Structure formats: structure tokens, C-alpha cells
Amino acid sequence: MIMPNRDTPVPRCLELALYTEHMLGKFPDNPRLVVLSARMREGSGVLEAAHLAHENEYRVLERTRIDVDFENYLSDARVRRTRKLVELEDGHAGGRIASQVFFAGSLDMSRIQGDRQIDAMRTLEMRLRNVQDLWPGAAAELAEIVMHRSRYGAALDAREACKRRIVQLRLARDAAKERFLRLYAEIASLVQAEFPRDRKTQELFFRDAYERRPAATPDNGGGEDDEPSDDPPDDPAGG
């Protein structure tokens, strides 16, 4: 019997646990096996919960990335609108107000993102404050830029917070997996002790960690070895 180890993907660990738990439950007249079945169910449940929490957070991360992209798009559009309004106030491109607000060029937000864009928007806010005596519309534009910069910053903060949660959840999942592997090995040892010198019965309760599974639709007349395992790998961090 090949035992699961740290390299065994969590979904495969859960499959092995389900098999052992269910097979142990086939002997209700043996109280020791009933207890082991319950322990396996509890241990695999903890691992599954930790695994799902980690996986689900990746879905949350994708939503936060979308939020960042959207706020980046809105911020870019707002800065372009501000530039157009400045040029309308000046009456032509590169006028007096524009030279003070956009003196470093067009401040093209489409070429920068993240913290760099936040910094650029703060600079734009400062310049708008400096031209309020020249341009009556500067205060309203300043309020718009501040609003978009705040929303963009909040989206970036939410994305980074999600990344930190993923690290924490991965550590929790890995710890749960370590506990599960110890439990699995302990249950295997106790089963062996329950059926000493009866290898066939011992092996009844466990599947090899790398055992190939039968095809879902065995229409080629083959056996279990005809279909390789389709277990997906764990996330790049391992586990």
C-alpha cells in the first residue's frame, strides 16, 4: 500500500479518505473500526474545509482583480475628461491652465497602473488645487479625481488583502493536510494491528495513493489501468 504524502494533491487525499472511511463503516459489528471510520470522516472533513476555503479565496481574488481593472478604466477616462475640460477653459491645447495642470505631458493613465497611478492622481489633485483661482471648474474636477482615486485605491487595497488571506489560508490548509497525513498513517497502523498477519484484509481498507482509477465510461473493455488518473495538481504553492 502506497500511503499519501505531502506531494499527494488534496483532492486525492480526500478520495482516499472517503474510500477508507466508507470501507471501515462496512463492519458495524467491530466497534474499533466504527471509531476509526468516524475519525477518518472528521479528519478529512477538516482538510476539505481548509482546502475549499483556500480555493474559494482564489475566486474572490479574481473578482478583486476585475474591480481593479474597472476602476483603472474609470480613472483613465476621468483624467482624459479633465484634460479636455481644461483645454476648453483655455480655449486651445497647451494653454495657461493646461500648462500648470498637465505640464509634464498628458499624464497618460493608460500607461501606468496600481500605486504609480495613485501617485499620479495625487499629483493631479495638487495641481488642480493650485489653479482654483484661475479656473472656477477646478474644484469640481478635483472632487471627481479624488473620488476616483479613492475608489481605485480601495480596489487595490481589497486585492492585496485578498492575496494576504490566500497566504494565510494556504498555511492553514497545509497544516490541516499534515494533521490528516498523520491521522491516515495512524489509522493504517491500527487497522494492521486489528488484522495481524492478514494482509489481504488490511489492504481492503486502503487504496494506493497513486492507484489509477477506472474510466468513467469503460466502453473499450479495459480494466482500471486503462485510464490514467486525472487528478489536477494543487496550486503552485504546493499541497
198-224 pLDDT, tens digit per residue, is 999 999 999 987 776 555 554 444 444
- Which of 24, 26, 36 shows the shortest CA–CA distance to 190? 36
Average pLDDT of the residues in 177-204: 96
| DSSP conformation class of 70 | H
Predicted TM-score of the model (pTM)? 0.76
- Which of 4, 26, 15, 57 shows the shortest CA–CA distance to 172? 57
pLDDT confidence of 172, banded at 50, 70, 90?
very high
Going from N- to C-terminal start, the domains of the chain cover 24-171
Sorted by sequence, the CB contacts under 8 Å of residue 123 that are 6+ apart come out as 107
pLDDT confidence of residue 226:
40
- Round to the nearest angstrom and report the end-to-end CA distance of the chain: 21
Distances (CA, A) of 69 to 74, 115, 143: 9, 13, 21
pLDDT confidence of residue 92:
86
38-61 pLDDT, tens digit per residue, is 999 999 999 999 999 999 999 999
pLDDT confidence of residue 235:
45
pLDDT confidence of residue 105:
53
Per the model's pLDDT, the better-predicted residue between 179 and 230 turns out to be 179
- Which of 192, 206, 199 shows the shortest CA–CA distance to 32? 192
pLDDT confidence of 108, banded at 50, 70, 90?
low
Q: How far apart are CA 135 and CA 111, in angstroms?
A: 27
Q: How far apart are CA 52 and CA 72, in angstroms?
A: 30
- Which of 138, 142, 216, 194 shows the shortest CA–CA distance to 23? 194
Average pLDDT of the residues in 68-91: 92
3-41 pLDDT, tens digit per residue, is 999 999 999 999 999 999 999 999 999 999 999 999 999
pLDDT confidence of 232, banded at 50, 70, 90?
very low
